[in-house]
Amino acid sequence: MVNITIDEIYIRIEMLGGFSIIFGETRISEQVKRSSKTWKLLQYLVAHRHKIVSQEELIETFCEDELSDSPGSALRTLVYRARNVLAKSGLSCADNLIVTKSGGYSWNDDLRCEVDAEEFEELCKKADSAAKNERMDMLLRAAALYKGDFLPNSTGELWVMPLARWYRSLYLASVHHALELLLGEERYIEAGELCSKAMLVDPFDEGILEYHLRALLAQGKNTEALDEYKKMESMYYDELGVEFSDELRALYSQIKRPAITDGKSLENMMEEWLDGADFPGAYYCDLSEFKTMLRIESRSVPRSGRTAYVVRFDTKYEPGAKKGGVMGQLDKLIPVNLRMGDLYTRSSPNQYILLLHSLAYEDCKMLIDRIMYGLDSKYLSKIIGSSIKPIKPIY
């Protein structure tokens, strides 16, 4: 191994989204085949690199479950293995990385070393007090550094959990702040890209979803915004069993209502409004929109003389169900078995409601049977029941 001085050593360490140590052209990363405990020791020393970690602390963290009567010996063996991993990886500075001091061990704090998690945290803190033009740059640089949760392969470690929560909360807060500034400066494409990345970290952050929908709307991408809304609404139902907030539901109305501008002909306005309405099958709508259509239908029934029924499917709630669950099956079967003029909505995590026009009661029963027949047999037991009610007319 070539001898190098401390001043010649520059190490880059990544802890967000995975653990890697980079020196020059050499990069080593944790791998499943290697000793998990060895890598966790390296991670611990890096995370606490500005202090000497006592033997007692390391024994309690890594060797408490050792069967050996000499936990100190077990720790020394673990440190030896960690040094050996670094040496065998080809790092020419391996001998300088882990040092023994005052009855403990530490990552060599005399080395020039950058850690992405520390850099990320520093940028977030500086952004709070920075001038507006600098703040945006710092927030976006911080967001770019966050390639994933802190040490994701060690999430079960007690010492990792609070740090992982802290970095994630700091990331989400910085993203919210950056999105507010981006939308304020009408940088909608960048805002959309940041939202897409942030939603991979936390798909259930309604604030980020709202920013994403607003960025799409500002670009005139109403169809994409509607698709995103429906996809996320379904995921909220399936994974959390909850409905969207009132703020998001209000935004849905805006997504569904194309802007009217002076100077457009009636024909052009109608083409714009009907864009995307030619899809086959029944029409899915938000619950609030469904209620509005139900009120309109109840007013028109007496004058038209036609019949109209509301059908409800109730299922057993499956928290965290995958897309192939009973609600996912119904989501596929309902639109293709209804006519284009019929409506349906998901009114709760375990319930669909249909609005059927100009059908007799017996026809509604046949439709229910057809949908039930299309269900995979393993899901039949998940159907609690179905019901049919005529729409009461308002005179």
The Cα–Cα gap between 232 and 237 comes to: 9
pLDDT over threshold 60, residue 39: yes
- Residue 42 pLDDT > 80, yes or no? yes
Between 65 and 282, whose confidence is greater? 282
Long-range contacts from 91-99, C-beta under 8 angstroms, 24+ separation: 91/21, 91/23, 91/26, 91/28, 92/1, 92/2, 92/4, 92/23, 92/24, 92/26, 93/4, 93/9, 93/11, 93/23, 94/1, 95/1, 96/6, 96/9, 97/11, 98/45
Considering the chain, what percentage of its residues have pLDDT values greater than 90?
Answer: 37
Find the mean pLDDT for residues 9-28.
Answer: 88
Task: Give the pair of three-digit tokens for residue 80.
Answer: 């030896």
Residue 142's contacts (CB-CB under 8 Å, 6 or more residues apart) are: 120, 123, 124, 127, 171, 174
Instruction: Please tell me the predicted confidence (pLDDT) of residue 170.
Output: 96
**What pLDDT band is residue 302 in, cutting at 50, 70 and 90?**
low
| Domain coordinates in residue numbering, the chain | 6-115, 116-256, 283-390
- pLDDT tens digit sequence for 202-238: 999 999 999 999 999 999 888 888 889 888 888 888 7
206's tokens: 């309604």
Contact status, residue 153 vs residue 19, Cβ threshold 8 Å: yes
For residues 111 and 6, the answer to whether their CB atoms sit within 8 Å is: yes
145's CB contacts (< 8 A; 6+ apart) are 16, 116, 119, 120, 123
How far is Cα of residue 305 from the mean position of the Cα atoms in its chain? 48
pLDDT in tens, 256-266: 765 555 556 66
379: Cα separation from own chain's centroid? 28
Cα distance between residue 235 and residue 320, in whole Å = 9
What does the alpha-carbon distance between residue 355 and residue 358 come to, in Å, rounded to a whole number?
A: 10
Q: What is the pLDDT of residues 187-209, one digit of tens each?
A: 999 999 999 999 999 999 999 99
Instruction: Report in angstroms the alpha-carbon separations of 338 from 69, 223, 282, 367.
Output: 72, 22, 5, 8
How confident is the model at residue 103, as a pLDDT? Answer: 83
Q: 183 pLDDT band (50/70/90 cuts)?
A: very high
pLDDT of residue 394: 63
**What pLDDT is stored for residue 33 in this prediction?**
46
Pick the CATH number of 283-390 from 3.40.1390.20, 3.40.50.2000, 3.40.50.150, 3.30.70.270: 3.30.70.270
Cβ distance 345 to 285 under 8 Å? yes
CB 159 within 8 A of CB 48: no
Name all contacts of 117-120 with Cβ < 8 Å and 24+ positions apart: 117/15, 117/16, 117/47, 117/150, 117/167, 119/145, 120/16, 120/145, 120/146, 120/167, 120/170, 120/171
CATH class as words, domain 6-115: mainly alpha
Higher pLDDT, 390 or 175: 175
- Confidence category of residue 1, pLDDT binned at 50, 70, 90: very low
For residues 141-155, average pLDDT: 94
> Going by C-beta distance under 8 Å and a sequence separation of 6 or more, which residues neighbour residue 351?
312, 313, 314, 315
Total residues belonging to the chain: 395
Q: Reply yes or no on whether the pLDDT at 8 is more than 80.
A: no
- Long-range CB contacts (within 8 A, 24+) of 184-189: 185/136, 186/218, 188/215, 188/216, 188/218, 188/219, 189/215, 189/219
Tell me the pTM. 0.75
Other C-beta atoms lying within 10 Å of the C-beta of residue 272: 14
Selected residue with higher pLDDT from 200 and 302: 200
- The fraction of the chain above a pLDDT of 70, given in percent, is 85
Low-confidence winner among 47-61, 171-185, 253-267, 319-333 (lowest mean pLDDT): 253-267
Averaged pLDDT of the chain:
84
pLDDT surpasses 60 at 282 = yes
CA 358 to CA 21: how far, in whole Å? 68
Q: Interhelix angle for 160-184 vs 206-218, to 10°? A: 30
Please check the confidence at residue 165 and state whether its pLDDT lies above 80: yes
pLDDT tens, position by position, 69-88: 677 888 888 899 888 888 88
Which pLDDT band holds residue 328 (cuts at 50, 70, 90)? confident
Fold of 116-256: 1.25.40
